[in-house]
Structures are given as structure tokens and as C-alpha cells.
Amino acid sequence: MTNVIGHLIGGKLVNDSTERTQDVFNPATGEVSCQVSLASKKTVEQAIKEAQAAFPGWRNTQPIKRARVMFRFKELLEQNAEHICKLIGQEHGKISHDAAGELQRGIENVEYACGAPELLKGEHSKNVGPNIDSWSEFQPLGVVAGITPFNFPAMVPMWMFPLAIVCGNCFILKPSERDPSSTLFIAKLLTEAGLPDGVMSVVNGDKEAVDALIESPLVKAISFVGSTPIAETIYAKASANGKRCQALGGAKNHAIIMPDADMDNAVNQLTGAAFGSSGERCMALSVAVTVGKQAGDTFVGKMTDAMQGLKVGDYDTATNDFGPVISKAHKEKVVGFINSAKQQGAKIIVDGTQISVKGFEDGYFVGATLIDDVTPEMDSYKAEIFGPVLQVIRVDTMEEAMQLINDHEYGNGTCIFTRDGEAARYFSDNIEVGMVGVNVPLPVPVAYHSFGGWKRSLFGDLHAYGPDGVRFYTKRKTVTQRWPSSGLREGVNFAFPS
């Protein structure tokens, strides 16, 4: 009998009474590894009820005690790292070393959350008026929720719930139903770390679960990471329901290759940034914009050579560079974009559409693909392919390259490879993108900064995790207080206080 993955509600593992399930596949073999229970509206409402009941006690728990739970949680994550990475590999296909990197970046967000007493200190001003003091404090919102994607089942949830929880909220997580096991296991570790029942729940599911979270008046905020069309829809619906919302969408990340760039370094860096995780990263560098004919020819030649030695295969062979894409349907989508680029006039320099991995012939593998002479009108350029595909656009000037990036609907991440400090500074100041790298191809902010793009890559005012995360999961209250001196009585004053 196939194992069914349930939900974590009120500190207990439960299955949905409707018995709706969905298959979970091992993308390296194409075989069903287990099934996941899909939560009904009733199940989601039960999780919300448990969270609402736990909230008064948790919000009144001292920040230092909340932080101690996170310290223990961090230790458990490190002790169970190998098992977590195995679960990620089995359901996502991510190679073990890549999964370890993902988990470490998630742990860094837990470490940041351990600073809750400092993060929540607020502000204080003495004697703003005669015997009047004023201060601001940051109070939790209540029940909040997160909806996370398949490509980072460990890291992206940890962008959300550690901070939300140490800020005094109760959190309901709806992870991707495609690879739920590692996320659920991590949530169980949080319970083991001493988190009270109901403070953290996991409901696996599909649109029914998402709609239940968005429509519930008890859920005060929604965090989302996924594709732009869904991000925009969730932001609109959550806002219409009076919720605070941050919805991170898709990306088309460009790297400008200047004529003076260290070409060997640029090729090495972009090889990992374009093809790591099979390109299934919202920060994947999927477009190289080469400035000048010589830079373009040199880059394409060196990148072609570098791609010949890439190893594609299953997750537990550490010498592999990347694994399969998440599903058969997604493989067909990626291959479709590659074929459309060729049909629309681009040159396929390295074709990964016909790859076959020995012993894993039914897996969802797409090999590293390099496409030259791409133009902005092509479908493959406009869309987020989300696969191991690097496209090359050739331009004559840096201004042309920057205009290309600024004109794109997405503004998530970008970088420039150059030795020219003036060019790098001009690029950083004037590019219309939220996360910028200079000779750094994946400029993902560390945990004590915040992650987020511009334009249609982010809906909402606050970025994810870091200082913006604290602000997102709290509401400011300002208190102005006077204790008049004994025996003094003030008369009536109709003027506005100053």
C-alpha cells in the first residue's frame, strides 16, 4: 500500500477525512514514491482554529523563550541534515550537495530569528512633552500563513515561519504538494524543539486549501512564492480580503558580460548559476547579454566547452552536477521552449533535449542547453523557462544591455561581469532590478538583509525575511504616556497638542 503523507495540526499528524490524494513522484525514475493527502476547507479551518486557540499564550510568551525554541530547532536541523537532504532529493531530484546548500541557507534564517529579543525591542523617546514619554512596540498580527513552491521545499518555508513565529504569530504552512516530505519532517522537528501545539501547522493541498486560507477572516497575512500569474492573483484576493500580503513571482535574470570581463571566471560562475538545480531557481541566470562581437564569440565558445563535462543524474550521486526537472509535464514545457527558440530563428549551440541517463531512462531529465542569437521577441526570452537553459543575446553597448533588462516585465535578479568599477557602479545605480550582483551571479541576500525583486517579480511593499520580514509579521503600536506631578491639575486646552 502506498504511503500517504498527511498534515501536522495541533502538534499531531492527521489525514483529511475526504481522502483526496495526489501522487508524489521520484523525478529521477518517473515512479510514484508516495501520495499526499489534499486538505479540504474543513481541515484548513481546523488548523486555523488550533492556531487561533494557541495565539494568546504564544503572543504573551517572552521573546527570549521564543528564541530558545529556535535555538533548539537549529540544532535539530543540523543533526538531521542528511535525512532532510535525502527527502529533498527523492521528491525534488536535487543533488545532495545542492540540497545541503539549500538547507544551510534556511538554517541561516533560523539563526536570524534567534535574535528575536533584539529584533523586537522597539523605540523609546523620553520627555517628548512635559512629563510625557513615547514609545513604539511591534506586536504580532495573529494567525498568518505561507504558501511555498516545489523548488526549495526546505529553504523558502524557512524564509517565513521562523520569523513569523518568533514575532509571536501562529503560522500555517501550505507547501508544494509535489515534494511535501522534507517540509513536513522539518515542521515536526519544530514541535520536537518545544514549540507549543497549534503555533505551527502544515496543511498539504491544492487550490482548495489556498482559497480557504485566503478567504478566512482569521488569517491576517499571506506570504507566497511562486509564478507571477499566481502571485498576482493571490495578492489581489488576499488584499481584497483585508489581509497583508507579500507575493513573490517569477523572474528572467540577465547577466551582462562586458568586453573587459574575466571571461573564464564569468563562464565558471554562469555555468553553476544557469544549470544548478536544473535551472529551477527564481534566481537562475537564464540570459547572458554579451556586449560586443568579440565578447559574444569568446563567451559562447568557452561556455560550449565548459558544458561538455556536466554530469546529469540522480540525487545521491554527489559527483552529478544537477538532476531532473520536477515532472514530466514540466520537462515537456522546457523542451517546448527550446524548440520554439529554434523555430523562431535562434541557434541551438548545445542541445539538452535528447539526454538519456543510464539506469534512469524514465526520469524527467533535460540536459544543459545553450541557445545563441536570441532576440527579445522570442517566446523563450519573454517567459520564465525554469529549466537548464542559458540563452545568449548579443548587443553592441552596455546601454543597450541595460535597456533590455529594464524593459523586461520581471525585475528579480541581475549581475554584471566587468573589471571596470565605474561601469559596475553605474549599472548598480540605474538597473531596475531588486537584487544586483557585481561579478556575483546569484546575488541572493544573506538572512540579515531581505529578498525581493521589482516590477512583476514582487507584489507587495515588503521583501521576504530579514528586517522586512520582521516588519511584515508585526504591527507597530505607539504609546504616549504622561504621569502628572502630584497635586498639579491642567486646565482645558482646545489647541492641537504640540
**Which amino acids are annotated catalytic?**
282
List helix spans (H) across 150-206. Answer: 155-166, 181-192
Report the side by side order of strands in the sheet with 253-257: 347-350, 369-372, 389-395, 285-291, 253-257, 413-417, 435-438
Length reported for the chain: 498
What CA–CA distance (Å, rounded) separates 438 from 417?
6
| DSSP letters for 79-136 | HTHHHHHHHHHHHH---HHHHHHHHHHHHHHHHHHTTHHHHT--EEEEEEETTEEEEE
Cell of 18: 475526504
Handedness of CA 397, 398, 404, 406 (dihedral sign): negative
Q: Are strands 285-291 and 389-395 parallel, antiparallel or unpaired?
A: parallel
What is the separation of C-alpha 449 from the centre of its chain, rounded to a whole number of angstroms?
Answer: 14
Instruction: Read off φ and ψ for residue 38, nearest 5 degrees.
Output: -100, 120
Instruction: Give the whole-angstrom CA distance, residue 349 versus residue 132.
Output: 72
Q: 327 is written with which cell numbers?
A: 515532472
> What's the CA gap between 327 and 256, in Å, rounded?
31
